[in-house]
Amino acid sequence: MYNIAKAPQQDREILFLNTAAKIGVNAAIIEKDFWVCLSLHYLFHESKWKNSFAFKGGTSLSKGYGLIERFSEDVDLILDWRVLGYSVLEPWKDRSATKQQKYTEEMNHRLQDFLEFEFIPDFQKHFSILIDEPVSVYLSKDDPGTVKLKYPRSYDEESILQEIRLEIGALAAWTPTKMMEIQSYAAECYPDIFVQKTAMILTTTSTRTFWEKATILHQEAMRPGTSMIPSRYSRHYYDLYCMTKKGELIKALENLDLLNQVVDFKMKFYPRGWARYELARAGSLKLVPPQHCLASLRVDYEKMRAMIYGVYPDFEEMMDELNALERIINTVIMEKENVQDLDSKYIRGW
């Protein structure tokens, strides 16, 4: 990968244009995908903290597991909170709601200081050396947990955010994870010109991400009528829909304890009374958005069309399938269904 990063910009541009022509997408997307993969390789193989990260979220579903067909704006990373000076079990200690909130705020402040004064200077210096070109790495003004990387670019494309957003959080569950192989679309199309085509990355399991996404949808289903679903949230509905289509439901239903772990984590570290996380269990889980949010969610989903390079599901179809998925998950407990029987009863033909 680094041999491509060090190549003349004109050569990279030709590579990205040819790859884009093969796949049928914008060359700016191919370029960004290359730099995302290279950044991940650096963080997990070259960085001073290479053993302190785990890869999670939507980008892991596309690059690691091949479960979704959309390009992500962000790279979600978990930072081992021991880097910030905490012991393995310390954050889990029982605290009052007020003390827990203060503890969470303190951890976030420590994270921001670490990113600004240790991680970013180190990343910018050593990544620039490896690619023989200076890059700009800085902390987002809007989100102190997000590090932005301005990569060398060949294109100006307004519809694509031409920077890499590393969303780094310490308050996230580290397990379960597994090693996954990732590679850029350029390396897939032209493997012979890459000295190193792939990178092994420690990645959150797809089953945990399934339940993470499901609990996000539950939260939004409980959103009060006085507020709207945040922008770019339609991606979570698309992701869960695609994961179900790719057969992840059976694995998820066989791991209902993992759903409970996800819920318990959110209730402790990200409590929101209105989200009703205590109901985000098999038997009472909600996935369908409230009526007052449907119109804005549809518009948000239409804006995401350019980032989906595979089949673009119809919005109504997606909502219908999520409605069915909600019934299935709750039926497993309510009717004590055998999980394996669900394949023929509900899922086959989806």
Over residues 233-257, the pLDDT tens digits come to 999 999 999 999 999 999 999 999 9
Give ∠ CA 207-250-282 in degrees, rounded to 5.
80
Same domain? 172 vs 51: yes
Distance of CA 199 to the CA centre of its chain: 18
Burial class (CB in 10 A: 0-12, 13-18, 19+), 195: exposed
- Cα distances (Å, whole numbers) of residue 300 to 143, 153, 226, 231: 21, 27, 18, 6
Residues 138 and 219 occupy one common structural domain: no
**57: helix, coil or strand?**
coil
The residue from 204, 235, 251 where one domain ends is: 204
Whole-angstrom distance, CA of residue 298 vs CA of residue 302: 6
**The pLDDT of residue 350:** 44
Q: What is the tally of structural domains in the chain?
A: 2
Mark whether 89 and 142 lie in a shared domain. yes
State which of 204, 227, 252 marks the end of a domain: 204
Quote the domain boundaries for residue 311: 206-347
Place of tokens 């067909």: 69
Could you tell me if 191 and 223 lie in one domain?
no
Burial of 270: CB neighbours in 10 Å, binned 0-12, 13-18, 19+: middle
Q: Residue written as tokens 């503890």?
A: 103
Chosen domain end from 178, 204, 230: 204
- Are both 99 and 11 inside the same structural domain? yes
Is residue 24 domain-shared with residue 102, that is, in the same domain?
yes
Give me the pLDDT at residue 303, please.
92
Residues 144 and 222 in one domain: no
- Residue 338's pLDDT band (cuts 50, 70, 90): low
Q: For residue 335, what pLDDT band results from cuts at 50, 70 and 90? A: low
- Name which of 34-43, 50-59, 196-205, 335-344 the model is least confident about: 335-344
Q: What is the pLDDT of residues 188-237, one digit of tens each?
A: 999 999 999 999 999 999 999 999 999 999 999 999 999 999 999 999 99
CB contact at 8 A, 194 and 103: no
Question: What six digits make up the tokens of 148?
Answer: 């932005």
For the segment 82-93, the average pLDDT, to the nearest whole number, is 96
Q: Are residues 24 and 50 in the same domain?
A: yes
**C-alpha to C-alpha distance for 314 and 23, rounded to whole angstroms:** 22
User: What pLDDT sits at residue 161?
Assistant: 75
Q: Is the pLDDT of residue 347 over 60?
A: no
| Residue 328 sits in the same domain as residue 223 | yes
Same domain for 210 and 199, yes or no, is no
Question: What's 308's DSSP letter?
Answer: B
The answer to whether residues 161 and 224 belong to one domain is no
Q: Do 324 and 252 fall within a single domain?
A: yes
pLDDT of residue 349: 40
